[in-house]
Amino acid sequence: MIMIEPSGGVGDDGGVDEIVRGARRSIVTVVSPGRGGSGFVALSNGVVVTTHDAVGFELEADIVLEDGRSAPARIVAVDVTANVALLLPDQPLGVPALRPAPPTSRTLGAPVVAIARPRAGELTVASGLASGDVRIGGADWLRTSAPLGVGGAAVVDRSARVIGLVSPGPRGAEREPGPQHLVAPIGVFDELLRSVDLPPRQLAEREPVYGCPSCGDSFDVEDDRCLGCGAGLPHAFELEGPGVLAERLVRELLERHGVGANRVRTSARTWRFPLRSGASSGESQIVLRIDRAGRTVVLRTPIARVPADVAHEALYRLLLTLDDQSTGDLRLSIGGGDVVFLSLVVTAAELGAKSAGDRVVKLSRDADHYRSLLGQAYDLDPLHEADDPEPPA
């Protein structure tokens, strides 16, 4: 457990530990392609609250519990403006929902504790004081005396009753400049919660509806601007110069593979999507990035994770040999300290060629080959998905 005490508002560590014991089973990790974060069980039917940032426009995600169990879940409701998403697990989680806190838990100076599981097996805790409400975008948001950790963290009172979740704040709303340490109280998304407080079978066909933060009209994920008011949508990015052409070619390439570009976009220049080759028994996660000049595109997928006890020198020699002899326009490398990646580098103009789709499929197919080869040579477990952070600016 990582303990963070920005203000010491709750008292001694024993007081914090008691609060954590009362809530920790209900705190979960949300795992979504290229994203993820923390969340908490909010309803007796198992519905989990997290931020919209944690799941993006995916329709499915995984929920990981304290004991390591994982359950698939569907996103059943989203408030794009409030940055809140609700997930319904496909099976009962067997953990209690957090009880809602009364309004008095938010009074000025009241101690609050934020509990999160940003990654499976990790619990983070932060404490602070309620600093009063602030009106943003027509709703009352809670300010705290200090930052309370990651988005999606459950903010609870002394009795481990949930006040709300840590959030970067509402989208599209004017606010005071500077950091505000915001919490979305349950009142901000209470109506959304009530809409899914139903037996799971009654939510079997439920899918999220996305509303424009400016006018409230529903929008399609692949739209960059609201068709109702013309405002730019939160997921839209505007590139300039050569980047505009590269983005268009990326969209066309993904469309040829049946992938909606906006649904899998994780930043202005990055897309992360699954792809299955004809021979693959599973999907490979492909990360596609446009360079800052807008002229080069790199696609890469993880192959294997290298344990600390593997002889790196011998492995590096093998990777160099494979690069020189057999990978063609594909390249093997170690990134992130311990992950072997297979990469394809093309110019933006090459993305427009009909052969580009075949080269992407070849990347996925060859990734399977190298997973098998490294597994046989070094007994490395195959890796189909891994963190691939943005390179520094």
Sign of torsion, CA 315 316 320 326? Answer: positive
The answer to whether residue 195 scores a pLDDT higher than 80 is: yes
Task: List Cβ neighbours of 140 (8 Å cut-off, separation of 6 or more).
Answer: 133, 134, 185, 187, 188
Q: Is the pLDDT of residue 12 over 80?
A: no
Mean pLDDT confidence for 329-341: 83
Q: Give the whole-angstrom CA distance, residue 143 versus residue 33.
A: 31
Q: Give the model's pLDDT for residue 173.
A: 61
Give residue 249's pLDDT.
93
As a whole number, mean pLDDT of residues 19-27 equals: 94
- Give residue 96's pLDDT: 96
Q: Could you tell me the domains of the chain?
A: 2-195 (2.40.10.120), 242-378 (3.30.1460.10)
**15-29, 106-120, 313-327, 344-358: least confidently modelled range:** 313-327
If one compares 317 and 365, the residue with the highest pLDDT of the two is: 365
**Residue type for 159, please?**
S
Q: What is the pLDDT of residue 5?
A: 47
- E-assigned strand segments in the chain: 2-4, 27-31, 37-41, 48-51, 60-64, 70-79, 84-89, 111-116, 124-136, 139-144, 154-156, 162-166, 182-185, 265-267, 270-275, 284-290, 296-305, 330-335, 339-347
Q: pLDDT for 279-305, tens place per residue? A: 545 678 899 999 999 999 999 999 998
- Is the pLDDT score of 54 beyond 50? yes
303 within 8 A of 96, measured Cβ to Cβ: no
The pTM (predicted TM-score) of the whole model is 0.80
